[in-house]
Amino acid sequence: MYTLTKSERLCSRILFGELMASGVSFVKYPFRVVYKVSSQPGDCPGRIAISAGKKKFKRAVQRNRIKRLVRESYRLHKAELAASLPEGCTVDMLFIYLDKTLPTFEKTEKAVTEALQKIAQQEGAATGEEEHEGD
């Protein structure tokens, strides 16, 4: 339940390309979040990718720290996303870090939690509408 497996990471070039081409984005500072309901559903509710720019953070240690904080925040709160999505639905997500300073865990956790709630609300509403159209 509280693990982050390989299948929960967005590694496929095809899926990543689809996400960048037709994903919906919003800003939940300090992140820009791009997400899309996946064309290839998996066994997990969401797949995540994280980006921290090399222009802002020259040292890999700093970029890796940001990624680690985001992964940990997502790992702790992914159950909330899974509970609100319909069975068999997989959402691909990309978190792009925008700030120029290193974040604290509290700041990261708050932003990731709010972003997941927004994704859950929007996708839950969208899939609910699709189900009612068929009636």
Q: Specify burial of residue 82 (Cβ count, 10 A radius: 0-12, 13-18, 19+).
A: middle
Give a yes or no: residue 129 inside a domain. no
Alpha-carbon distance 47 to 8, whole Å? Answer: 4
| pLDDT, tens only, 24-38 | 999 999 999 999 998
79 occurs within a structural domain: yes
Asked if residue 131 belongs to a domain, the reply is no
Quick check: is 11 in a domain? yes
Q: Count structural domains, the chain.
A: 1
Does the residue 128 lie in any domain? no
8 Å CB contact between 91 and 46: yes
Q: For residue 57, what are the domain limits?
A: 6-123
Q: For the chain, how big is the Rg over CA atoms in Å?
A: 15
Structural domain includes residue 130: no
Domain membership of residue 47 (yes or no) is yes
Q: Which two tokens stand for residue 134?
A: 């068929």
The pLDDT of residue 74 is 94
The predicted-structure confidence for 46-102, as pLDDT tens digits, reads as follows 999 999 999 999 999 999 999 999 999 999 999 988 888 888 889 999 999 999 999
- Mean pLDDT value across residues 115-128: 82
Q: How far apart are CA 112 and CA 106, in angstroms?
A: 10
Query: Which CATH number does the domain housing residue 60 bear?
Result: 3.30.230.10
Residue 1's pLDDT band (cuts 50, 70, 90): low
Strand partners, 44: none
Asked if the structure places residue 1 within a domain, the reply is: no
